[in-house]
């Protein structure tokens, strides 16, 4: 199986989760497939009464030629979205502070990783396999939670930076 940036990122979040264990009520969603990793269900959404959700999708890939060979500097942008519903609305988030802790745990799980993926050209965009060497800190973080704080949502992006050699 060829792993892409989104699959690698969602697995890394689970593997590096701070604390005792990954939460039973946090579902990881590959929004590109679409698939919920915890259940195998092919969908992009789920019931927030049962789960909090961290979803990821690839939004952009830019390849810039470098040198005189067929090499490229590649930047791939991954969009992340964390959602939850307040316990008063039958969700799993007790407070705004608890949701903020979820956000920071997800971001921490990525930031502590020190090895980055090499992915194949699964989209056939002609750049070959990409070996990433850097992942940016969270960018464009936006709090889209409801004003009454019954619905919690935070979006941000990560940039994967690396090099590709055409075969």
Structural domain total, the chain:
1
pLDDT digits (tens, 9 = 90+) for 93-106: 999 999 999 999 99
Please tell me the predicted confidence (pLDDT) of residue 56. 97
- Predicted pLDDT at 13: 97
Please give the residue range of the domain that contains residue 106. 5-165
Confidence of residue 117 (pLDDT cuts 50, 70, 90): confident
In b/e form, how buried is each residue of 122-143, taking b as 16+ CB within 10 angstroms?
Answer: eeeeebbbbebeebeebeeeee
Q: CATH number for the domain including 66?
A: 3.30.2000.10
**pTM, 2 dp:** 0.90
Any bridge partners for residue 165, and if so which?
A: 71, 129
SS3 for 108?
helix
Q: Answer whether residue 1 shows pLDDT above 70.
A: no
Q: How confident is the model at residue 43 (pLDDT cuts 50, 70, 90)?
A: confident
Q: Is the pLDDT of residue 80 over 60?
A: yes
């Amino acid at each position: 199986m060829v792993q892409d940036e989104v699959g690698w990122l969602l697995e890394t979040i689970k593997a590096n989760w701070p604390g005792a264990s990954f939460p039973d009520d946090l579902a990881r969603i590959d929004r590109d497939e679409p698939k919920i990793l915890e259940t195998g269900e092919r969908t992009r959404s789920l019931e927030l009464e049962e789960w909090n959700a961290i979803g990821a999708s690839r939004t952009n890939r830019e390849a810039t030629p470098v040198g005189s060979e067929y090499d490229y500097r590649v930047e791939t942008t991954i969009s992340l979205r964390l959602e939850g519903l307040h316990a008063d609305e039958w969700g799993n988030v007790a407070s705004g502070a608890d949701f903020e802790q979820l956000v920071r745990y997800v971001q921490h799980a990525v930031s502590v990783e020190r090895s980055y993926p090499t992915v194949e050209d699964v989209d056939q965009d002609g750049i070959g396999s990409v070996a990433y060497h850097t992942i940016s800190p969270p960018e464009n973080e936006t709090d889209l939670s409801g004003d009454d704080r019954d619905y919690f949502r935070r979006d941000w992006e990560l940039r994967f930076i690396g090099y590709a050699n055409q075969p």
